[in-house]
Amino acid sequence: MSTDGGPPADLRQELTADYRVFDLTGDHYAIGYQMGQVTELRPVETWRDRETELAFARACAEVVGQFHPPLLDEFRGYAAAQGCAWEDVLPHFSNNLPEGALVGCTTLARRLPDGRVLVARNHDFLYMRKERYLRRLSPTGYPASLGAQSGLIGSCYDGVNGYGLFAALHTIRARIADRVAPGVPSYLVPRILLETCRTAREAASRIQDMPHLLPFSYLVADPDEMFAVETYPGITRVRQAEGDSLVVTNYYEAADMRPLQGRRDVSEQIERIRWIQERIAKDSTGDAGGWFWAQRLLRDHSLPVCHHRPNHATLWSLVADLTAHRVAYCLGAPCRNEFREWDWPKNEVSDS
Ligand SMILES: [Zn+2]
């Protein structure tokens, strides 16, 4: 991996990456404002002319507003703190429909022999991405959550909320749809779910209701149920876990969606799923109910599950026991960094 004898490139990036933890309270405008004060507006790559990009982003913002209106306030707060125009933050609603997504991320949900539900996940992405933020959110009037993101305003790639719901995303390489209607960008989906849903079933149904911009899959789980949801502009398929586990990586399991992947080789993804399923089948959960078993699995290089590639790597990991309300994040590749436990997000008003 390293050609000059120094540390591998992804480790060099990890050591200089912006791993920060934010505690954010108040209304959504205040949350956006706080982020805008202490982070830099992440530039969004452009692929088309500015007016086309802005018009599309504007239409996406409108769709996002239909599903979670206060998120728009978070964008407004961010813009206000930076003293910039709405047009400057607007591209964060669509990411300008990026072309050529990368493969990464592995998530599993598993019901342990004693009935508890455990989730484990590696977030893999381009290691040039410096923003790697863990956010503890307590927005006024909405469920509290703990989740990670990479600098896009309002986003969340994986996390848990005060009700015991978990949500995570996975990119899928598929052919670019010829015409994509405005919709909800993948990186806002887990955030919307964590702030508007209590259960995995509710979350799966909500993903189905949304128009989607990009080929992505999601894993949603709670102490009772787990679902995988596969999306493509205009198509959504929901699959409930058969048996006691569910593993999601970067490919379409739904038979009618597989052709969208074209001739792309997904054998590595399928192999990763099988390998993890075998590990689950063989595990006797001798240690603390699978907690450390899951961490070991996320560190594993034999397939690998923990990635160190020429341009992308595992940027963070999480393990959560949705039943016992226990959650830990590892900020950095799990093979060389420690998992740290965080308090379970506590909803402001408990009405459950
Ligand atoms: Zn590793």
Where in the chain are the domains?
9-93, 106-342
CA 66 to ligand 1 centroid distance, Å: 40
The CA 136 to ligand 1 mean position distance, Å, reads 26
* Exposure string for 78-108, b = 16+ CB within 10 A, e = fewer: bbbbbeeeeeebbbbbbbbbbeebebbbbbb
φ, ψ of residue 342 in degrees (nearest 5): -120, 155
* pLDDT tens, N- to C-terminus, the chain (352 residues): 445 678 889 999 999 999 999 999 999 999 999 999 999 999 998 888 999 999 999 999 999 999 999 999 999 999 999 999 999 999 999 998 876 556 679 999 999 988 999 999 999 988 888 999 999 999 999 999 999 999 999 999 999 999 999 999 999 988 877 788 999 999 999 999 999 999 999 999 999 999 999 899 999 999 999 999 999 999 999 999 988 999 999 989 999 999 998 888 888 888 999 999 999 888 766 666 689 999 999 999 998 999 998 888 999 999 999 999 999 999 999 999 999 999 999 998 654 4
Distance 204 CA to ligand 1 centre (A): 31
CA 206 to centroid of ligand 1, rounded, Å: 34
Q: What's the CA-to-centroid distance between 121 and ligand 1, angstroms?
A: 13
Q: Name, in order, each residue with C-beta under 8 angstroms of 100's C-beta and a sequence gap of 6 or more.
A: none
Q: Which CATH number is 106-342's, of 3.40.30.10, 3.60.60.10, 3.30.470.30, 3.30.70.660?
A: 3.60.60.10
Q: Is 72 helix (H, G, I), strand (E, B) or coil?
A: helix
* Residues whose beta carbons lie less than 5 angstroms from ion ligand 1: 306, 333, 335
Residue 36 Cα, ligand 1 centroid: separation in angstroms? Answer: 32
